[in-house]
């Protein structure tokens, strides 16, 4: 299928920043910009599990547009979930409010992994691509598609629910490396199919949420995950859109992650943007890294923290303002709006008069 470009497909500042080209202001969007912090989201959300909501493309399209209309952010991100592509695979996935993804019979053996068949975009991703078709022409900013990274999805499938320590996952990697490799390889295939379908329907940037990758030591990362991420990076680079890779607590992995060849790297708030930009800002575009909790503070504090990040970003060739993780549900939308305006104003000034 021929990709359908949005009506005003002039190069956006988000795309320029991801190509590490000069921009006249700093692009900004927020992970979880759609969701429980927005009254208009709560008004349409209903009580069903998010996986049920995602079966209603009109609703998913409307929710995708909500933060774009309210905030004037420089990108929409598709309202979906990293578990959504797997929802039709008959592996008993649910997303429980206040908990997260829960798997009926967690994956432990090769037999379990054999249950993970490839995703068929025409059926398994139809609701998702219908949602994209419904919102893409309403957008004057790029639509970001996304999928889960192989470690993060594998961890949910193996642990059976959110885990802090990922111990069962790590034991499987160490005790059954071939079983893990098969699982990771199938998840990379699913990620590629998902991102390709999103791009075919008009997503012009994609982000891989490998949120929990930072739980791995560099040694385990290099042995168990790096080859799979290298394949993911190589195959997604053929999609013709910039790919951002994101995880939290990745300070010890950033140099490795920067070498994978993704266009952009998402940073959490535990790293000093100055230092990362100096070290890696000429090889990869950087995105982040305001602590989401800071948005709960008085606005003057929020803007002071934002300003310090914007100043540090001058050392990166390509930079996108974002949080270090998703917007917290208790965040006041007025604070988010103030940050968007501030990034746009200050970013334009900084671009005119870069800091020495």
| Separation of CA 334 from chain center | 23
Q: Does 52 bind ligand CP3 (CB under 6 A)?
A: no
Near ligand CP3 in 191-230, by CB under 6 A: 209, 211
Q: How far is the CB of 315 from ligand CP3 (least distance, A)?
A: 26
Residue of 133, 142, 132, 137 lying closest to 19 (CA atoms)? 142
Residues 159-188 vs ligand CP3: string with x where CB under 6 A? ---x--------------------------
Q: Which is nearer to ligand CP3, 26 or 51 (CB)?
A: 51
In angstroms, what CA-CA distances link 48 with 42, 53, 96, 135, 330?
A: 12, 6, 10, 22, 20
Q: How far is the CB of 298 from ligand CP3 (least distance, A)?
A: 25
Cα gap 352→212, rounded to integer Å? 37
In angstroms, what CA-CA distances link 309 with 43, 106, 252, 292, 348?
A: 33, 40, 20, 13, 14
Q: How far is the CB of 150 from ligand CP3 (least distance, A)?
A: 13
Reported as type and span, the H/E element at residue 320 is strand 319-323
Q: What is the pairing mode between strands 264-266 and 285-290?
A: parallel
Q: Which is nearer to ligand CP3, 71 or 221 (CB)?
A: 71
Cis link prior to 235 (omega < 30° from 0)?
no
Q: Based on the number of CB atoms within 10 Å of its own CB, is 349 exposed (0-12), middle (13-18) or buried (19 or more)?
A: exposed
Question: Which are the catalytic amino acids?
Answer: 32, 36, 45, 81, 156
Q: How far is the CB of 232 from ligand CP3 (least distance, A)?
A: 16
Angle subtended by helix axes 126-136 and 177-200, to nearest 10: 30
Q: Which is nearer to ligand CP3, 236 or 346 (CB)?
A: 236
Cα gap 39→53, rounded to integer Å? 17
- Which residue is listed with tokens 């409307």? 62
Near ligand CP3 in 260-319, by CB under 6 A: none
Q: How far is the CB of 98 from ligand CP3 (least distance, A)?
A: 5
Q: Does 47 bind ligand CP3 (CB under 6 A)?
A: no
Q: How far is the CB of 220 from ligand CP3 (least distance, A)?
A: 20
Both tokens assigned to 193:
């199919």
Cα gap 284→256, rounded to integer Å? 12
Residue 29: phi, psi to the nearest 5?
A: -150, 170
Q: Which is nearer to ligand CP3, 26 or 82 (CB)?
A: 82
Residues 316-335 vs ligand CP3: string with x where CB under 6 A? ----------x---------
Cα gap 266→205, rounded to integer Å? 13
Which of 33-41, 86-94, 220-228, 283-291 is the region at the interface with ligand CP3 (rule: CB under 6 A)?
33-41
Residues 124-163 vs ligand CP3: string with x where CB under 6 A? ----------------------x---------------x-
Residues 68-97 vs ligand CP3: string with x where CB under 6 A? ---------x-xxxx------------x-x
Which of 32-40, 133-141, 169-177, 275-283 is the region at the interface with ligand CP3 (rule: CB under 6 A)?
32-40
Tell me which residues touch ligand CP3 (CB under 6 A).
Answer: 31-36, 45, 50, 77, 79-82, 95, 97-98, 100-101, 146, 162, 209, 211, 326
């Amino acid at each position: 299928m021929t990709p359908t470009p949005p009506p005003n497909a002039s190069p956006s500042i988000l795309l320029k920043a991801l190509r590490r080209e000069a921009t006249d202001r700093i692009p900004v969007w927020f992970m979880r910009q759609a969701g429980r912090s927005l009254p208009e989201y709560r008004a349409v959300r209903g009580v069903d599990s998010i996986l049920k909501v995602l079966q209603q493309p009109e609703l998913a399209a409307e929710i995708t547009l909500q933060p774009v209309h309210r905030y004037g952010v420089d990108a929409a991100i598709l309202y979906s979930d990293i578990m959504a592509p797997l929802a039709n695979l008959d592996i008993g996935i649910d997303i429980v409010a206040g908990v997260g993804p829960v798997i009926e019979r967690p994956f432990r053996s090769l037999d379990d992994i054999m249950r993970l068949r490839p995703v068929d975009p025409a059926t398994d991703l139809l609701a998702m691509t219908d949602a994209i078709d419904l919102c893409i022409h309403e957008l004057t900013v790029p639509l970001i598609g996304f999928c889960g990274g192989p470690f993060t999805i594998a961890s949910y499938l193996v642990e059976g629910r959110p885990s802090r320590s990922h111990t069962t996952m790590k034991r499987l990697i160490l005790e059954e490396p071939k079983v893990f490799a098969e699982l990771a390889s199938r998840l990379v295939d699913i990620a590629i199919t998902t991102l390709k379908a999103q791009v075919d329907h008009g997503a012009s940037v994609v982000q891989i949420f490998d949120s929990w990758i930072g739980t791995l030591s560099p040694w385990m990362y290099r042995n168990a995950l790096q080859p799979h991420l290298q394949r993911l990076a190589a195959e997604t680079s053929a999609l013709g859109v910039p790919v951002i890779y994101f995880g939290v607590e990745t300070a010890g992995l950033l140099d490795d992650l920067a070498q994978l060849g993704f266009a952009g790297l998402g940073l959490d708030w535990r790293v000093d943007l100055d230092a990362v930009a100096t070290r890696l800002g000429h090889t990869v575009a950087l995105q982040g890294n305001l602590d989401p909790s800071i948005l709960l503070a008085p606005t003057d504090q929020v803007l002071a923290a934002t300003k310090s990040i914007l100043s540090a970003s001058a050392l990166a060739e390509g930079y996108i303002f974002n949080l270090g993780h998703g917007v917290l549900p208790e965040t006041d939308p007025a604070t988010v709006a103030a940050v968007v305006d501030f990034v746009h104003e200050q970013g334009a000034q900084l671009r005119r008069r870069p800091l020495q």
